[in-house]
Amino acid sequence: MADTCYAAIDIGSNAVRLLIKRVKYDETLMSKKFSKVLMLRVPLRLGFDVFSLGELSENKAVKLLRLMKAFRQLMKIYDVTDYRACATSAMREASNGKSVIKKIQKTTGLDIEIIGGQEEAQLIYKYHLECSTERLGNYVYVDVGGGSTEINLQIDGELKHSLSYNVGTVRMLRNAVQDGVWEQMKEDLTQLTAGLEHVNIIGSGGNINRLYRLVSKKERKQKRMPVSSLKTIYDQLSILTPEERMETFALKADRADVIVPAAEIFMAVAEVVKAEYIHVPVIGLADGMIDGLYEKNVLSLLP
Protein backbone atom coordinates (compact mmCIF):
# COMPACT_ATOMS: atom_id res chain seq x y z
CA MET A 1 0.00 0.00 0.00
CA ALA A 2 1.42 3.38 -0.97
CA ASP A 3 1.93 6.22 1.48
CA THR A 4 -1.37 7.94 2.17
CA CYS A 5 -2.28 11.29 3.72
CA TYR A 6 -5.24 11.68 6.05
CA ALA A 7 -6.61 14.86 7.60
CA ALA A 8 -8.63 15.68 10.68
CA ILE A 9 -10.46 18.93 11.42
CA ASP A 10 -11.32 19.48 15.08
CA ILE A 11 -13.74 22.39 15.61
CA GLY A 12 -13.40 22.99 19.34
CA SER A 13 -14.77 25.56 21.75
CA ASN A 14 -11.45 27.41 22.07
CA ALA A 15 -9.55 26.56 18.89
CA VAL A 16 -10.02 24.93 15.49
CA ARG A 17 -7.32 22.52 14.34
CA LEU A 18 -6.24 20.92 11.10
CA LEU A 19 -3.98 17.89 11.43
CA ILE A 20 -2.57 16.09 8.38
CA LYS A 21 -0.62 12.86 8.80
CA ARG A 22 1.11 10.59 6.33
CA VAL A 23 0.67 6.88 6.95
CA LYS A 24 3.27 4.44 5.69
CA TYR A 25 2.31 0.78 5.71
CA ASP A 26 5.03 -1.89 5.76
CA GLU A 27 3.52 -5.02 4.19
CA THR A 28 6.50 -7.14 5.20
CA LEU A 29 6.28 -6.22 8.88
CA MET A 30 2.49 -5.75 8.74
CA SER A 31 2.91 -2.46 10.57
CA LYS A 32 1.95 1.18 10.06
CA LYS A 33 3.84 4.37 10.84
CA PHE A 34 2.23 7.80 11.21
CA SER A 35 4.21 10.99 10.59
CA LYS A 36 2.86 14.50 11.07
CA VAL A 37 2.81 16.55 7.88
CA LEU A 38 0.96 19.65 9.05
CA MET A 39 -0.64 20.94 12.24
CA LEU A 40 -2.50 24.27 12.30
CA ARG A 41 -4.32 25.70 15.30
CA VAL A 42 -6.49 28.80 14.94
CA PRO A 43 -8.02 30.26 18.14
CA LEU A 44 -11.50 31.16 16.89
CA ARG A 45 -12.87 30.79 20.45
CA LEU A 46 -16.36 29.82 19.36
CA GLY A 47 -17.34 28.98 22.92
CA PHE A 48 -17.07 32.59 24.04
CA ASP A 49 -20.10 33.32 21.87
CA VAL A 50 -22.05 30.15 22.50
CA PHE A 51 -21.69 29.91 26.27
CA SER A 52 -22.76 33.56 26.68
CA LEU A 53 -25.24 34.12 23.85
CA GLY A 54 -26.41 30.61 23.08
CA GLU A 55 -25.39 30.93 19.44
CA LEU A 56 -22.53 31.82 17.13
CA SER A 57 -22.35 35.49 16.21
CA GLU A 58 -22.35 36.40 12.52
CA ASN A 59 -18.72 37.47 12.85
CA LYS A 60 -17.60 34.10 14.21
CA ALA A 61 -19.70 32.20 11.69
CA VAL A 62 -18.06 34.10 8.82
CA LYS A 63 -14.58 33.46 10.22
CA LEU A 64 -15.31 29.75 10.60
CA LEU A 65 -16.47 29.59 6.98
CA ARG A 66 -13.30 31.35 5.79
CA LEU A 67 -11.15 28.99 7.84
CA MET A 68 -12.86 25.92 6.42
CA LYS A 69 -12.23 27.23 2.89
CA ALA A 70 -8.55 27.58 3.76
CA PHE A 71 -8.39 24.10 5.29
CA ARG A 72 -10.06 22.65 2.20
CA GLN A 73 -7.38 24.15 -0.05
CA LEU A 74 -4.57 22.92 2.23
CA MET A 75 -5.93 19.39 2.07
CA LYS A 76 -5.83 19.59 -1.72
CA ILE A 77 -2.24 20.87 -1.66
CA TYR A 78 -1.16 17.93 0.53
CA ASP A 79 -3.05 15.37 -1.58
CA VAL A 80 -5.21 14.21 1.31
CA THR A 81 -6.92 10.92 0.47
CA ASP A 82 -9.59 11.04 3.15
CA TYR A 83 -10.59 13.34 5.99
CA ARG A 84 -12.95 13.70 8.91
CA ALA A 85 -14.23 16.98 10.34
CA CYS A 86 -15.84 17.02 13.78
CA ALA A 87 -17.35 19.80 15.86
CA THR A 88 -17.64 19.40 19.61
CA SER A 89 -19.14 21.14 22.63
CA ALA A 90 -19.69 24.72 21.39
CA MET A 91 -21.29 23.65 18.13
CA ARG A 92 -23.39 21.04 19.95
CA GLU A 93 -24.96 23.81 22.01
CA ALA A 94 -25.14 26.66 19.50
CA SER A 95 -28.77 27.22 18.51
CA ASN A 96 -27.57 28.05 14.98
CA GLY A 97 -24.84 25.40 14.92
CA LYS A 98 -26.55 23.12 12.40
CA SER A 99 -27.41 25.98 10.05
CA VAL A 100 -23.85 27.32 10.17
CA ILE A 101 -22.46 23.87 9.34
CA LYS A 102 -25.00 23.40 6.56
CA LYS A 103 -23.84 26.67 4.97
CA ILE A 104 -20.19 25.60 5.27
CA GLN A 105 -20.97 22.26 3.65
CA LYS A 106 -22.82 23.94 0.78
CA THR A 107 -20.02 26.46 0.19
CA THR A 108 -16.93 24.29 0.67
CA GLY A 109 -18.13 20.74 0.15
CA LEU A 110 -16.75 19.76 3.55
CA ASP A 111 -18.84 17.30 5.53
CA ILE A 112 -18.79 18.28 9.21
CA GLU A 113 -20.19 16.10 11.99
CA ILE A 114 -21.36 17.41 15.33
CA ILE A 115 -20.32 14.60 17.67
CA GLY A 116 -21.49 13.89 21.20
CA GLY A 117 -19.32 13.93 24.29
CA GLN A 118 -19.22 10.14 24.58
CA GLU A 119 -17.93 9.69 21.03
CA GLU A 120 -15.41 12.48 21.58
CA ALA A 121 -14.12 10.74 24.71
CA GLN A 122 -13.81 7.37 23.02
CA LEU A 123 -12.08 8.71 19.89
CA ILE A 124 -9.34 10.28 21.99
CA TYR A 125 -9.04 7.32 24.31
CA LYS A 126 -8.96 4.66 21.59
CA TYR A 127 -5.97 6.27 19.90
CA HIS A 128 -4.20 6.71 23.23
CA LEU A 129 -4.67 3.05 24.11
CA GLU A 130 -3.05 1.93 20.84
CA CYS A 131 0.01 4.09 21.50
CA SER A 132 0.16 3.70 25.25
CA THR A 133 2.81 2.08 27.38
CA GLU A 134 0.65 2.69 30.46
CA ARG A 135 -1.48 -0.42 30.04
CA LEU A 136 -1.19 -2.00 33.48
CA GLY A 137 -2.65 -0.23 36.47
CA ASN A 138 -5.57 2.06 37.20
CA TYR A 139 -5.90 5.28 35.20
CA VAL A 140 -8.44 8.01 34.73
CA TYR A 141 -8.01 9.41 31.22
CA VAL A 142 -8.99 13.10 31.28
CA ASP A 143 -9.34 15.34 28.23
CA VAL A 144 -10.10 18.97 29.10
CA GLY A 145 -11.53 21.13 26.33
CA GLY A 146 -13.05 24.55 26.12
CA GLY A 147 -16.62 23.36 26.52
CA SER A 148 -16.45 19.91 28.08
CA THR A 149 -14.29 17.41 29.93
CA GLU A 150 -14.18 13.81 28.77
CA ILE A 151 -13.24 11.10 31.27
CA ASN A 152 -12.41 7.42 30.67
CA LEU A 153 -11.66 4.84 33.35
CA GLN A 154 -8.96 2.38 32.28
CA ILE A 155 -8.07 -0.67 34.35
CA ASP A 156 -5.10 -2.76 33.15
CA GLY A 157 -5.52 -1.47 29.61
CA GLU A 158 -9.26 -2.14 29.44
CA LEU A 159 -11.79 0.66 29.05
CA LYS A 160 -14.44 0.40 31.76
CA HIS A 161 -16.40 3.66 31.52
CA SER A 162 -16.59 6.77 29.30
CA LEU A 163 -18.15 9.95 30.65
CA SER A 164 -18.55 13.53 29.44
CA TYR A 165 -19.31 16.66 31.48
CA ASN A 166 -20.11 20.22 30.46
CA VAL A 167 -17.18 21.57 32.45
CA GLY A 168 -14.61 23.27 30.22
CA THR A 169 -12.17 26.13 30.32
CA VAL A 170 -14.09 28.61 28.16
CA ARG A 171 -17.33 27.63 29.86
CA MET A 172 -15.74 28.36 33.24
CA LEU A 173 -14.43 31.74 32.10
CA ARG A 174 -17.96 32.59 30.96
CA ASN A 175 -19.42 31.40 34.30
CA ALA A 176 -21.59 29.05 32.25
CA VAL A 177 -21.09 25.80 34.18
CA GLN A 178 -24.54 24.77 35.37
CA ASP A 179 -25.24 24.11 39.04
CA GLY A 180 -24.57 20.56 40.05
CA VAL A 181 -22.26 19.57 37.21
CA TRP A 182 -19.08 19.75 39.29
CA GLU A 183 -20.73 17.78 42.08
CA GLN A 184 -22.00 15.15 39.63
CA MET A 185 -18.55 14.70 38.10
CA LYS A 186 -16.93 14.31 41.51
CA GLU A 187 -19.63 11.92 42.70
CA ASP A 188 -19.28 9.76 39.59
CA LEU A 189 -15.51 9.64 39.92
CA THR A 190 -15.76 8.69 43.57
CA GLN A 191 -18.08 5.79 42.73
CA LEU A 192 -16.09 4.63 39.70
CA THR A 193 -12.77 4.49 41.55
CA ALA A 194 -14.09 3.14 44.86
CA GLY A 195 -11.92 0.26 45.99
CA LEU A 196 -9.19 0.95 43.40
CA GLU A 197 -5.66 1.62 44.58
CA HIS A 198 -2.96 3.82 43.05
CA VAL A 199 -5.21 5.58 40.55
CA ASN A 200 -3.35 8.09 38.37
CA ILE A 201 -4.34 10.40 35.53
CA ILE A 202 -3.54 10.41 31.82
CA GLY A 203 -4.15 13.95 30.61
CA SER A 204 -4.76 15.33 27.13
CA GLY A 205 -5.57 18.72 25.64
CA GLY A 206 -3.51 21.77 24.82
CA ASN A 207 -3.55 23.12 28.35
CA ILE A 208 -2.14 20.09 30.13
CA ASN A 209 0.53 19.84 27.40
CA ARG A 210 1.53 23.45 28.10
CA LEU A 211 1.42 22.98 31.87
CA TYR A 212 3.62 19.92 31.45
CA ARG A 213 6.21 21.99 29.60
CA LEU A 214 6.37 24.36 32.58
CA VAL A 215 7.64 21.70 34.99
CA SER A 216 11.32 20.91 35.41
CA LYS A 217 13.29 19.07 32.72
CA LYS A 218 13.95 16.29 35.22
CA GLU A 219 10.24 15.67 35.65
CA ARG A 220 9.60 15.83 31.90
CA LYS A 221 12.13 13.05 31.33
CA GLN A 222 9.89 10.79 33.41
CA LYS A 223 6.99 11.49 30.99
CA ARG A 224 4.75 12.41 33.90
CA MET A 225 3.96 15.40 36.05
CA PRO A 226 3.50 15.08 39.82
CA VAL A 227 0.18 16.56 40.94
CA SER A 228 2.18 18.50 43.53
CA SER A 229 4.10 20.20 40.68
CA LEU A 230 0.82 21.06 38.94
CA LYS A 231 -0.39 22.72 42.14
CA THR A 232 2.83 24.71 42.39
CA ILE A 233 2.49 25.95 38.80
CA TYR A 234 -1.19 26.73 39.38
CA ASP A 235 -0.33 28.84 42.42
CA GLN A 236 2.14 30.81 40.33
CA LEU A 237 -0.27 31.32 37.43
CA SER A 238 -3.47 32.04 39.34
CA ILE A 239 -2.17 35.19 41.06
CA LEU A 240 -1.25 36.77 37.71
CA THR A 241 -3.43 38.47 35.13
CA PRO A 242 -3.58 36.85 31.66
CA GLU A 243 -1.25 39.60 30.40
CA GLU A 244 1.25 38.87 33.17
CA ARG A 245 1.08 35.14 32.42
CA MET A 246 1.88 35.88 28.79
CA GLU A 247 4.96 37.85 29.77
CA THR A 248 6.19 35.62 32.61
CA PHE A 249 5.55 32.21 31.06
CA ALA A 250 5.65 33.06 27.33
CA LEU A 251 2.02 32.05 26.84
CA LYS A 252 -0.12 33.04 23.86
CA ALA A 253 -3.15 35.22 24.53
CA ASP A 254 -5.62 32.41 23.88
CA ARG A 255 -3.75 30.12 26.27
CA ALA A 256 -3.08 32.59 29.07
CA ASP A 257 -6.70 32.83 30.21
CA VAL A 258 -7.82 29.20 29.84
CA ILE A 259 -4.77 27.53 31.39
CA VAL A 260 -5.83 28.33 34.95
CA PRO A 261 -9.33 26.81 34.78
CA ALA A 262 -7.80 23.79 33.02
CA ALA A 263 -5.42 23.29 35.95
CA GLU A 264 -8.38 23.58 38.32
CA ILE A 265 -10.22 20.78 36.50
CA PHE A 266 -7.22 18.46 36.59
CA MET A 267 -6.57 19.22 40.26
CA ALA A 268 -10.23 18.55 41.10
CA VAL A 269 -10.06 15.14 39.41
CA ALA A 270 -6.72 14.37 41.07
CA GLU A 271 -8.13 15.21 44.50
CA VAL A 272 -11.14 12.91 44.08
CA VAL A 273 -9.19 9.90 42.77
CA LYS A 274 -6.16 10.63 44.99
CA ALA A 275 -3.79 10.68 42.03
CA GLU A 276 -0.08 11.34 42.51
CA TYR A 277 0.87 11.76 38.86
CA ILE A 278 -0.48 12.97 35.54
CA HIS A 279 0.95 11.25 32.46
CA VAL A 280 0.95 13.52 29.41
CA PRO A 281 1.17 11.62 26.08
CA VAL A 282 0.56 14.80 23.99
CA ILE A 283 -2.26 13.53 21.79
CA GLY A 284 -5.77 14.74 21.10
CA LEU A 285 -9.05 14.28 19.28
CA ALA A 286 -7.54 14.85 15.81
CA ASP A 287 -5.09 11.95 16.32
CA GLY A 288 -7.96 9.63 17.14
CA MET A 289 -9.90 10.79 14.09
CA ILE A 290 -6.99 10.04 11.76
CA ASP A 291 -6.46 6.62 13.30
CA GLY A 292 -10.14 5.89 12.64
CA LEU A 293 -9.78 7.02 9.02
CA TYR A 294 -6.85 4.67 8.52
CA GLU A 295 -8.77 1.73 9.95
CA LYS A 296 -11.82 2.50 7.79
CA ASN A 297 -9.77 2.70 4.60
CA VAL A 298 -7.68 -0.38 5.31
CA LEU A 299 -10.74 -2.47 6.14
CA SER A 300 -12.37 -1.39 2.87
CA LEU A 301 -9.49 -2.97 0.95
CA LEU A 302 -9.74 -6.33 2.70
CA PRO A 303 -11.56 -9.19 0.93
Tens digit of pLDDT for each residue in 50-80? Answer: 999 999 999 999 999 999 999 999 999 999 9
23-40 b/e with 16+ CB inside 10 Å = b?
Answer: beeeeeeeeeebeeebee
* DSSP state letter for 87: E
Q: Which of 203, 205, 198 is nearest to 155 (CA)?
A: 198
Q: What per-residue confidence (pLDDT) applies to 2?
A: 60
Whether the CA torsion 211, 213, 218, 224 is positive or negative: it is positive
Count CA atoms closer than 13 A to 116's CA, side-chain side.
Answer: 5
Where are any strands of DSSP class E within the chain? 4-11, 16-26, 31-42, 82-87, 112-114, 138-144, 149-155, 158-165, 199-204, 224-226, 277-279
Strand, coil or helix: 163: strand
Q: Are 63 and 69 in contact (CB under 8 A)?
A: no
- The answer, as to whether pTM is greater than 0.75, is yes
CATH 3.30.420.150 in the chain: give the residue spans: 133-280
Q: Determine whether domain 4-116 maps to CATH 3.30.420.40.
A: yes
Which of the residues in the chain have pLDDT under 70? 1-2, 26-31, 124-135, 220-222, 282-283, 299-303
Q: Are 40 and 53 in contact (CB under 8 A)?
A: no
Q: What per-residue confidence (pLDDT) applies to 303?
A: 45
Side chain identity at 301, as an amino acid letter?
L
**133-280: which CATH topology?**
Nucleotidyltransferase; domain 5 (3.30.420)
Q: What per-residue confidence (pLDDT) applies to 120?
A: 77
The neighbouring-strand residues paired with 10 are 17, 86
Q: Which positions ≥6 away from 194 have C-beta within 8 Å?
A: none
Q: Which positions ≥6 away from 122 have C-beta within 8 Å?
A: 152, 159, 162
Most distant CA pair in the chain, distance: 61
Q: Are 36 and 170 in contact (CB under 8 A)?
A: no
CATH 3.30.420.40 in the chain: give the residue spans: 4-116
